[in-house]
Chains A and B, each alone.
Chain A
């Protein structure tokens, strides 16, 4: 078998379709010819590539992306399950929470402020009680507290 005969018999050889005699002739040429040996190595590499491609694994996010696309295209029942809806509602919820936070924050700040004022000005409060409740018996306390100095 020469180089061109080997080339035309590669397919039959790889499929096991050669006779025993042809097979021996094929292999004996292969063992003595560097060019044909190289050619067979290249073809075997192609086989290896096919095997590698067979074991490819999709990205772990592929399924989620497909499902999301289906959600966008089709209206499905049990909508609340859909992250599509969550995506729309999420900013609204966040905005609401922020607004609540601001309101509560400003309310408590105000409250703290008035409490602080009450602590800082005890005399004003006593004056208020005295004038509004018409109580004049604060005199003793006044002298005690040193208000009437």
Chain B
């Protein structure tokens, strides 16, 4: 099914078109969402919202870009919103924990699942990486994730972000410098302890 046929089908609420859209784009959507939110389960839940948005806003799709690029834009926006929500929730949890009475450690410790040190190290680094990415300014973050995780060319990133090529280059360069500085700082501090 071509993009045009797909769009026509969805506008006519044709079931085959729905199925085609999902089959064709689910991997792209889930993987991109995962690279922004850093958790596959969240990314899969979010993908449902993304497809709902795609179908709802399809009548306003003006075809100035490809369907794939347009779906990427929706995916990026939705994913960044989820990260913001999670960060806000994280702040709330931290504030709430300040007012909670201290937990007795002896009782809770035994029920925790045993995690291999290597896994723990991997998980720690994974969350460190995503925390560092989430500290980047939004535009740098989008450009970096699309380039590094999604293997997009600068031209594709420029289309998705609706900016020029030099701007993409500059964003990615600054993102890499910032990330590396953050990580080097973190590991140097870690080495001191």
Contacts and interface: CB of A to CB of B under 8 A. Distances in A.
Contacts of B170: none
Given A66-B51, A70-B51, A70-B52, A53 B149 contact: yes
B14 A76 contact: yes
B38 to A, nearest CB: 8
A19 interface: no
Contacts, number: 101
B87 interface: no
A56 B31 contact: yes
Interface stretch (A41-49, A87-95, A109-117, A127-135): A41-49
Contact of B27 (A39, A58, A78): A58
Interface stretch (B103-111, B121-129, B134-142, B156-164): B121-129
A49 B15 contact: no
Interface stretch (B65-73, B75-83, B179-187): B179-187
Contacts of B191: 35, 38-39
B153 interface: no
Contacts of A54: 149, 151
A50 B51 contact: no
A62 to B, nearest CB: 5
Interface of A: 7, 10-11, 14-15, 35, 38-39, 42-43, 45-46, 49-50, 53-54, 56, 58-59, 62-63, 65-67, 69-71, 73-79, 81-82
Interface of B: 12-16, 18-19, 22-23, 26-27, 30-31, 34-35, 40, 43-44, 47-48, 51-52, 55, 122, 125-126, 128-129, 148-149, 151, 176-177, 180, 183-184, 187-188, 190-191
